[in-house]
Amino acid sequence: MVVRTFDSNPAPGCINFGIGQPSGDLTPPELFRELSERFYAATTAADFNYGDTRGDPQFIASLADFVERSYGQRPDPSELFLTAGNSQALEFVCERFTKPGDTVFVDEPCYFLAFQILADRGLDIVSIPLDANGMRIDVVEDLLKTRKPALLYTIPSFNNPTGVTLSRERRERLADLSREHGFVVAADEVYQLLSYEGEVPPAMATLTGRGNVISMGSFSKILAPALRVGWIQADAKLVSRMLESGWVNSGGAVNQLGSLLVRQAIDTGALERHIAFLRDAYRSRLDTMQAALEEHFSGIATWTKPRGGYFVWITLNADIETAPLKPRALEAGVGFQPGSAFSGPGGFRNSLRLSFAHYDESRIREGVARLGRVLREAMATAGAAQ
């Protein structure tokens, strides 16, 4: 498996739509100064110790409040576990519930950086196609006749990279199948709360009592990536297996101080106010990208406007590979992620993913215009060579 690294800070002047993280203006320092002051004003010496292996009990209680308000169903504290974000959570789930050689089902296309986490565990990756309603459960059912996966990894709401959402009926069937066939569903729910229009099916976290569902949530997309704070919600029996980990028992809470800072955001209502602010900001950025795509990509590509999340998935009308165009685009001052990076079998070669989260409206308009010129030039060159 090829190691693919994520795009970090772009070169000056470059508008890199390959970056899947908030822009600096959406993580205001004054918010964290206020939260830090509140934390240090109420802190005790115990807060600077290793912390409870599950997570600080007061944080877990606040997290349960937040989950109830967000998902409409209150988890028991025994069903929650503090993580250091979703990448660490997925690695941890693989550690506890798989062994080398096991099969894992994944979305096709799938979050590209998850591939290395799964491959590092020696797992046999089997891709399951998506359609407009998310992962095709009929394909899962057919494969289950001959394959016995240990794990299924999916991004059910506003999938990265396609933006599609798994329907309620498919979520429920997936939970049932996990129990019937004895595999674990690792649901990456980082975008669940970032919806901009229409209704979102209930989070997979609400189905933990129905199947072997592990919901992985993160504050990276709804507060700040640098916090490296997230959570797992699962049936208490599955959480108990996590608590048996040697490094958990040796190390205590994975991010004690970070979780207590997040607790201040939850308890003061600052987190939910910030999520509302993000929804408005991202809705505007998405609308801007949609308008820019209609202006500069009409006739050369197709796409569907997502109803939430971070990404727009684009497929060129011509059979042109996008990966070789990435260096040319960067020379023109714009970046993207090629579609083949998101495919286990190496498909989607004429697709690409753009993120609208990292730039304001003026930069989005300029970046799409730059990329449109690059793609039209490439298509014209390819047409002339035929």
Mean pLDDT, residues 241-264 taken together: 94
Q: Where are the beta strands (DSSP E) in 11-64?
A: 15-16
C-alpha 7 chain-centroid distance: 15
The pLDDT-based confidence of 28 (bands split at 50, 70, 90) is: confident
Neighbours of 294 (CB within 10 A): 12
29-268 sits in which CATH class? alpha beta
What residue type is 332 in one-letter code? Answer: A
What gap in Å lies between CA 381 and CA 378, rounded to an integer? 5
Residue whose pair of structure tokens reads 């998405």 in the numeric block: 286
Name the maximum alpha-carbon separation found in the chain: 72
Residue 77 exposure: Cα atoms within 13 Å on the Cβ side: 11
Is the C-alpha dihedral spanning 373, 379, 380, 385 positive or negative?
positive
pLDDT, the chain, mean:
95
| Structure tokens that stand for 351 in this block | 């697709």
Hey, which of 11-20, 121-130, 243-252 has the most confident mean pLDDT?
Answer: 121-130
Amino acid letter, 123: L
pLDDT in tens, 79-118: 999 999 999 999 999 999 999 999 999 999 999 999 999 9
What percent of the chain stands above pLDDT 70?
Answer: 97
Q: What percent of the chain has pLDDT over 90?
A: 90
Helix (H, G, I), strand (E, B) or coil at 250: helix
- Whether the pLDDT of residue 5 is over 60: the answer is no
Q: Say if residue 306 is preceded by a cis peptide, omega within 30 of 0.
A: no
| Token digits of residue 193 | 């709360």
Two structure tokens written together for 219? 């504050």
CATH 3.90.1150.10 for the 15-27+272-381 domain, yes or no:
yes
Copy the structure tokens of residue 38: 């509140």
DSSP string, 113-139: THHHHHHHTT-EEEEEEEETTEE-HHH
Q: Is the pLDDT of residue 8 over 90?
A: no
Neighbours of 323 (CB within 10 A): 15
Residue 360 tokens, joined: 């304001």
Distance of CA 73 to the CA centre of its chain: 22
Sheet of strand 301-303: strand arrangement = 301-303, 311-316, 351-355, 337-338
d(CA 37, CA 151): 42
Neighbours of 102 (CB within 10 A): 18
Give the Cα separation of 367 and 364 in Å (integer): 5
Listed in sequence order, the residues at least 6 apart from 314 whose beta carbon sits closer than 8 Å to its beta carbon are 293, 297, 301, 302, 303, 351, 352, 353, 354
Task: Spell out the domain ranges in the chain.
Answer: 15-27+272-381, 29-268
Residue 380 has a CB neighbour count (10 Å cut-off) of: 12
**Cα distance between the two ends of the chain:** 33
| Model confidence pLDDT, tens digit, residues 286-338 | 999 999 999 999 999 999 999 999 999 999 999 999 999 999 999 999 999 99
Nearest Cα residue to 322 out of 340, 305, 310: 340
**Per-residue pLDDT for 2 more than 70?**
no
